[in-house]
């Protein structure tokens, strides 16, 4: 297990265990149009409230105009690594239609996003979601209509060597182990706060 693979109390699906959010991307390798299509197909098949399908995407491949325009909406910090991505996407939530507000629109976009990210792993790629972008700049740049909210930027690419990041802090962060709340602080039974699973157990405590 690499430092980046999830440390789980029981085995979980390999795609989930291996997913993480790298910044060190290899800009000598491309994301193919077929791979981009596959991650978007995966996102398209996400569940949503009443099948309202609130998720939409703007997407570009490195070298094209849309990629350049999405990159320009990212914070400088995110631009500093995301320019090496093979594809950049903006995830948008359709929050209103002719009948009014779409319930759970952002939840739906989140589900689509996780489908997209896991399909990227299945394609041998990596994906890194970013809140660090300017939604108003996306609105202006891509003439996004009212009732549609630019909610997330996503870099999809090929994992590179940590050294491409250049600075020591960035490399240390890139190679550090990943942490999560322990399961006993995450899932409860009976009253709030009563752990469903104790550390290291794979079954609920007896009795």
Residue 21: CB minimum distance to ligand FMN, A: 3
Stretch that binds ligand FMN, among 36-44, 63-71, 97-105, 128-136 (CB under 6 A): 128-136
Identify which of residues 127 and 148 has a Cβ nearer to ligand FMN in the complex: 127
21 binds ligand FMN (CB under 6 A): yes
Give the footprint of ligand FMN on residues 147-166 (CB under 6 A): 152
Task: Quote the tokens at residue 189.
Answer: 């039974």
130 binds ligand FMN (CB under 6 A): yes
Please write down the long-range contacts of 102-106, taking CB distance under 8 Å and 24 or more positions apart: 102/49, 102/52, 102/54, 103/49, 103/50, 103/52, 104/48, 104/49, 104/52, 104/54, 105/49, 105/52, 105/54, 105/149, 106/54, 106/149, 106/151
173 binds ligand FMN (CB under 6 A): no
Distance (Å, whole) CA 141 – CA 66: 10
Residue 195: CB minimum distance to ligand FMN, A: 22
Place of tokens 């009014």: 100
**The one among 20, 57, 67, 197 contacting ligand FMN by CB under 6 A:** 20
59 binds ligand FMN (CB under 6 A): no
Asked if 71 contacts 154 with a C-beta cutoff of 8 angstroms, the reply is no
**The one among 178, 186, 187, 194 contacting ligand FMN by CB under 6 A:** 178
Residue 40: CB minimum distance to ligand FMN, A: 18
Identify which of residues 131 and 198 has a Cβ nearer to ligand FMN in the complex: 131
Strands across the sheet with 87-94, in order? 55-61, 87-94, 148-157, 126-130
The pairing of strands 96-97 and 100-101 is antiparallel
Residue 66, strand partner residues: none
Number of residue whose CB is nearest ligand FMN: 132
115 binds ligand FMN (CB under 6 A): no
Identify which of residues 147 and 170 has a Cβ nearer to ligand FMN in the complex: 170
Which residues make up the interface to ligand FMN (CB under 6 A)? Answer: 20-21, 78, 129-132, 152, 178
């Amino acid at each position: 297990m690499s430092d980046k693979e999830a440390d789980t109390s029981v085995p979980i699906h390999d795609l989930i265990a291996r997913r993480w959010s790298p910044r060190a991307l290899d800009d000598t390798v491309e994301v193919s149009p077929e791979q981009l299509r596959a991650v978007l197909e995966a996102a398209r098949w996400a569940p949503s409230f009443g099948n309202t399908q609130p998720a939409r995407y703007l997407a570009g491949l490195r070298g094209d105009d849309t990629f350049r325009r999405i990159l320009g909406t990212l914070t400088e910090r995110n631009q500093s690594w995301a320019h090496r991505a093979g594809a950049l996407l903006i995830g948008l939530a359709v929050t209103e239609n002719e009948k009014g507000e779409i319930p759970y629109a952002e939840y739906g976009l989140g589900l689509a996003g996780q489908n997209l990210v896991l399909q990227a792993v299945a394609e041998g790629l990596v994906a890194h979601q970013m809140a660090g972008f300017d939604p108003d700049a996306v609105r202006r740049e891509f003439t996004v209509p009212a009732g549609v909210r630019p909610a997330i930027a996503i870099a999809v690419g090929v994992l590179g060597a940590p050294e491409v990041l250049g600075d020591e802090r960035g490399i240390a962060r890139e190679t550090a182990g990943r942490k999560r709340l322990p399961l006993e602080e995450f899932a409860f039974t009976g009253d709030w706060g009563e752990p469903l699973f104790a550390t290291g157990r794979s079954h609920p405590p007896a009795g």
